[in-house]
Structure 1
Amino acid sequence: MKATRVDAEQARRHVAAGFWAGRLVDGYLAAAATRTPEAVAVVDRGRHWTYQELDDTVDRFASALQGRGVGPGDVVSWLLPNRVEAVVVHLATIRLGAVSNPIIPIYRHRETAFILRQAATKVAVVPHVFRNFDYPAMLDEIRDEVPTLETVVVVGGPGDGGDGGRSSFDDLLAEGHADPISTPRASGDIALLLYTSGTTSAPKGALHSHDTLDHENRSIIDFFGLSAADVVFMPSPVGHIIGVLYGLQLPFMLGGTVVLLDVWEPGRALELIEEHRCTFTVAATPFLHGLVHHPSLPERDVSSLRVFACGGADVPPELVRAATTALGCTVSRGYGSTEFPTATVCNTRDAVEKRARTDGRPIGPAEVRLAPDGELQVRGPELFLGYLDASLNDSAFTDDGWLRTGDLARIDGDGYVEITGRQKDIIIRGGENISAKEIEDHLFEHPDVADVAVVSSPDPVLGERVCAVVVALPGHHVTLPGLVEWLTVRRTARQKLPERLILLDELPRNPSGKIQKFRLRDLAREHTTLGVTR
């Protein structure tokens, strides 16, 4: 496995400037285990893992994988919840010189088979049961589609004695040893293969090296002034770029503690923040919304929380304002992706309105620019090295090496970026372009609305009309005339007013929290009558 979009001259500049510092992702854990072996590294379901325990376990798992024939460049895929085993598998794989391939645990047969097959996975690690789903059974059913798969490792369940290529996590650990692994590696080697949890089409496998991952985390540490005294709270799925970076890597770079939450429940999240005095988290909009609106919030002491960086999905300005007051911390929108984890964000030096109304300013040496059509393009030391399917690269990159994000944006006079929508998220009504995000931001502030998305609805005359898809607050009633009046009072242009309303119990979201608008567009195509659909 190799990168396909490496610009040798730009790589040289990153090294010369110190952005790529030649460090290995797993090396921070080993260094912290030597420096402070008894410090708490991970809190998971009430158990505390010290740095020495964690580092020894990583070595044992890495040596066991090596004994099973896994070597540099081989892919180890894993579908695991936010638990310590995910930390072990991720860092052990990287320590061996192999490629870690996290997969969101809510993926099922079709998506999982596609990823394992394209990645040529050699070992897959899954839970025995999580949220009442039998993962080993799923792998049994798709195994014929993945000819490279040699070993399935089951966490929390039995193996099969080796007859069917299935081992338990504990049995595999017993095969290993705690002596350091000696494998020739370089910081430019591929360490992570992560598939985008996109809102359209099949997932795309993005390749990151030690260098790109290390720079991203160091830039976040510098930007937010993080140290070993910080306690990271991680509810975001560790199969997503946010969870990988800030749950499985950044805490060990700090020499601090990470508190993992495997099943999202905002009341439990508030308990953990209070109990462990958590200071820093990065998570998507639904997590922030859940904390702010949970009835137990006034009873909880969350004063330790300094930063809630919110990204991965659209963040309504009013939610940032409300959360800043309710949580008493710096709440910031940020912009990034699997391919370029953090391009822009705000910190305590930025005014609340900048944090609410924009997606922040470029962080460190990250560069942003607008194409003539308003598309945001990004470039910098954390930019991924290309897709595993190299045929996707030409359309993803410009000729001069910038990533085409597919997002429309504007940049204000102070350099702050505001995402205004997706290129495909523009509604063209009678030949006039309408931003779905602009309408969404207004409707989110409606007192009866819990969640909202705006999509196009096909029309034989105008081409498209505006369709609002709304989740009402419990006990509240939402009507189309009420939404129209709300927008009219805010002097919204007539052509932007919704002409259709679809009421749902919840909006479909992908694992990173982004609304799956393609599903809502499908729904709007199925119900083309103007008015209200329930």
Structure 2
Amino acid sequence: MPDDGRTRRNTAAGYWTDDLVDDHLAAAAGRTPAAVAVVDRGRHWTYAELDGAVNRFASALRGRGVGPGDVVSWLLPNRAEAIVVHLAAIRLGAVSNPIIPIYRHRETAFILAQAASTVVVVPRLFRGFDYPAMVDEIRAEVPALRTVVVVGAGPDEGRLRFEDLLEEGRAEGVDAPRTAADIALLLYTSGTTSAPKGVLHSHWTLEHENRSMIEFFGLTAADVVFMPSPVGHIIGVLYGMQLPFMLGSTVVLLDVWEPGRALDLIQEHRCSFVVAATPFLHGLVHHPSLPERDVSSLRVFACGGADVPPELVRAATTALGCTVSRGYGSTEHPTATSSNASDPVEKRAQTDGRTIGAAEVRLSPDGELEVRGPELFLGYLDDALNADAFTGDGWFRTGDLARIDADGYVQIVGRKKDIIIRGGENISAREIEDQLFEHPAVADVAVVSSPDPVLGERVCAVVVPAAGETVTLPAIVAWLTERRTTRQKLPERLILLDELPRNPSGKVQKFRLRELARASLTPTEVTR
């Protein structure tokens, strides 16, 4: 993205400052070293412990040849080690590259190769999956990778362990030349193309995003953040691994989602602030034990990442007794709009809110929402993607169709981007289509979203079988699984047609397929 005076405008207005992402942790450790920074699976990490671990990990990476500008990738669940790796990479002057742990061979190899990652940190096992074995299998595809660090490996497994690097490192950390303009985060998002897109953020953009959220929701050091959203997502990165330390408060992590456990943690630690996607909110509100739990500490549940039914906002507001708001954002522009306690409940339920901070929104002539602000990303790692992503005057084309009412509230009404948002995960329809087209029993295929009250959307494959062939949902799921497709991307509904509806130019009329997927089940449809 060309600068076009952006740096001058944002620094002159005070939106971009000299603050560095990891400095807040160090400052809080100096002020209140014994205060609890992170709660993870029953362990309480103090600010002194967390900051010391970040210093040691950063200096150990430096000792192994990692320097400013190098990419440190990691696939880790919501655990304190993820925070250590993320902030250590940034403190070193390297670039932190979170990869969501649901990704498998195909996506992980693509990201590590394009990012030219020199280091990757993985868990020994998480939810039964062997991550070091996966890295071994794809290593030939990622020539820049030099170091593989394993969290939770046994001392006799022959792996470089996370604990080994902490022992190698120095408590005083590293002294790296850095500025707030430096790229601190490389985060991949899947959009309209089959390959994930690498989004670049600096200290400037990340810092402004969190400051605007703190001001908008009136957050203080007394707030306790609950983070069930994956820390490999922009939500988890910003509000689970950075914002709490700006406040000098505590973050409570949950690595495997279970709403009963979530309610336990909220009650036990008096959590007050949550940012998470629709399934998390739905799970809390509909858990049978909710009436017996004390969730009176909750002040704000900001919901986004997937479509949020208005009725869920209304029900959650009553059931949780807090401010429940919808919000709109993306990896590229984390939060453009939201609502807070000053907004009427119906605005919070029916719209995606109003602009926060210095964010701006507008509609293109065809109704596409365009956004810009100090938190807007710097551009994609693949520079070829930037021309289509930005307007000539620096606004980001979201690909979403919207309305803006007379009060300035935004309502998303559809998407130009051909993606499916399943539980907050962006899934490329084209990626699945490209693979299914290779199936010998498939003559034609389109992949669309199918509404779901909990996840927002599920993946629906619409298939035209080849002559004389039979296509079943278990068969195509097994075929995709053999090609190491991530489980969340597997079709969960199948519609069989004699032909796909197309316009005169030959393009598939996906709006008609979405209507079909929204309709009641037909005899030609299989579900699982």
Given the two structures, how large is their TM-score scaled by the length of structure 1?
0.81
1:2-40 per-position Cα deviation (integer Å, ceiling 9, x unaligned) = xxx141512111001110011100000000000111100
Give the structure 2 partner of residue 141 of structure 1.
Answer: 137
Give 3-state SS (helix, strand or coil) of 1:531's partner. Answer: coil
Q: Residues of 2 paired with 1:526 and 1:237: CA distance? A: 40
Quote the offset at 1:423 in angstroms. Answer: 1.6
Instruction: Give structure 1 stretches of 5+ with no counterpart.
Output: 427-435, 438-454, 456-464, 474-501, 505-514
Q: Residues of 2 paired with 1:69 and 1:159: CA distance? A: 23
Q: Residues of 2 paired with 1:161 and 1:326: CA distance? A: 48
Give the structure 2 partner of residue 184 of structure 1.
Answer: 177
2:23 corresponds to 1:27: yes
Partners of 2:58 and 2:89 within 8 A in 1: yes
2:252 corresponds to 1:252: no
Quote the offset at 1:198 in angstroms. Answer: 3.7
**Over aligned residues, Cα RMSD in angstroms?**
2.9
Give the structure 2 partner of residue 264 of structure 1.
Answer: 257
Give the structure 2 partner of residue 132 of structure 1.
Answer: 128
Give 1:231's aligned amino acid: V
Q: 1:180 to 1:151 in 2, by over 3 A?
A: closer
Give 1:224's aligned amino acid: F
Give the structure 2 partner of residue 40 of structure 1.
Answer: 36
1:367-390 per-position Cα deviation (integer Å, ceiling 9, x unaligned) = 100001100000000000000010
Give 1:248's aligned amino acid: M
Quote the offset at 1:96 in angstroms. Answer: 0.2
Give 3-state SS (helix, strand or coil) of 2:380's partner. Answer: coil
Give the structure 2 partner of residue 285 of structure 1.
Answer: 278
Q: 1:419 to 1:156 in 2, by over 3 A?
A: same
Please, which of 152, 165, 186 is the counterpart of residue 148 of structure 2? Answer: 152
Q: Residues of 2 paired with 1:171 and 1:390: CA distance? A: 37
2:367 corresponds to 1:374: yes
Q: 1:169 to 1:516 in 2, by over 3 A?
A: closer
Quote the offset at 1:158 in angstroms. Answer: 3.7
Partners of 2:260 and 2:284 within 8 A in 1: yes
Quote the offset at 1:172 in angstroms. Answer: 1.1
Give 3-state SS (helix, strand or coil) of 2:379's partner. Answer: coil
Partners of 2:227 and 2:252 within 8 A in 1: yes
Give the structure 2 partner of residue 318 of structure 1.
Answer: 311
Quote the offset at 1:201 in angstroms. Answer: 1.6
Give the structure 2 partner of residue 109 of structure 1.
Answer: 105
Quote the offset at 1:517 in angstroms. Answer: 9.5
2:304 corresponds to 1:308: no
Matches within 5 A, 1:183-202: 183-198=176-191, 201-202=194-195
Q: Residues of 1 paired with 2:202 and 2:114: CA distance? A: 19
Q: 1:80 to 1:516 in 2, by over 3 A?
A: closer
Partners of 2:473 and 2:491 within 8 A in 1: no
Instruction: Give structure 2 stretches of 5+ with no counterpart.
Output: 422-428, 430-445, 455-471, 475-486, 501-515
Matches within 5 A, 1:70-85: 70-85=66-81
Q: Residues of 2 paired with 1:63 and 1:192: CA distance? A: 19
Partners of 1:158 and 1:167 within 8 A in 2: no
Partners of 2:205 and 2:374 within 8 A in 1: yes
Q: 1:284 to 1:470 in 2, by over 3 A?
A: closer
Q: 1:375 to 1:516 in 2, by over 3 A?
A: farther
Q: Residues of 1 paired with 2:257 and 2:498: CA distance? A: 32
Quote the offset at 1:470 in angstroms. Answer: 5.8
Partners of 2:58 and 2:173 within 8 A in 1: no
Q: Residues of 2 paired with 1:526 and 1:348: CA distance? A: 51
Give the structure 2 partner of residue 452 of structure 1.
Answer: none
Give 3-state SS (helix, strand or coil) of 1:152's partner. Answer: strand
Q: 1:8 to 1:274 in 2, by over 3 A?
A: same
Give the structure 1 partner of residue 216 of structure 2.
Answer: 223
Give 3-state SS (helix, strand or coil) of 1:341's partner. Answer: coil
Give the structure 2 partner of residue 99 of structure 1.
Answer: 95
Matches within 5 A, 1:160-179: 166-179=159-172
Please, which of 108, 115, 118 is the counterpart of residue 119 of structure 1? Answer: 115
2:38 corresponds to 1:49: no
1:311-333 per-position Cα deviation (integer Å, ceiling 9, x unaligned) = 11110101100100110000000
Give 1:46's aligned amino acid: G
Give 1:228's aligned amino acid: A
Partners of 1:200 and 1:518 within 8 A in 2: no
Quote the offset at 1:197 in angstroms. Answer: 4.0
Q: Larger deviation: 515-524 or 190-199?
A: 515-524
Partners of 1:232 and 1:251 within 8 A in 2: yes
Q: 1:205 to 1:524 in 2, by over 3 A?
A: farther
Matches within 5 A, 1:363-512: 363-424=356-417, 469=450
Q: 1:397 to 1:199 in 2, by over 3 A?
A: closer
Aligned length: 456
Q: 1:336 to 1:253 in 2, by over 3 A?
A: same
Q: Residues of 2 paired with 1:293 and 1:520: CA distance? A: 23
Partners of 1:200 and 1:516 within 8 A in 2: no
Give 3-state SS (helix, strand or coil) of 2:39's partner. Answer: strand
Q: Residues of 2 paired with 1:23 and 1:247: CA distance? A: 18
1:419-477 per-position Cα deviation (integer Å, ceiling 9, x unaligned) = 00102579xxxxxxxxx99xxxxxxxxxxxxxxxxx9xxxxxxxxx9x9946699xxxx
Identity %: 75
Partners of 1:469 and 1:503 within 8 A in 2: no
Q: 1:317 to 1:141 in 2, by over 3 A?
A: same
Partners of 2:191 and 2:418 within 8 A in 1: no
Give 2:80's aligned amino acid: V
Q: Residues of 1 paired with 2:272 and 2:178: CA distance? A: 34
Quote the offset at 1:202 in angstroms. Answer: 1.5
Q: 1:424 to 1:379 in 2, by over 3 A?
A: closer
Q: 1:518 to 1:335 in 2, by over 3 A?
A: farther
Q: 1:46 to 1:348 in 2, by over 3 A?
A: same
Give 1:360's aligned amino acid: G
Given the two structures, how large is their TM-score scaled by the length of structure 2?
0.82
Give 1:291's aligned amino acid: L
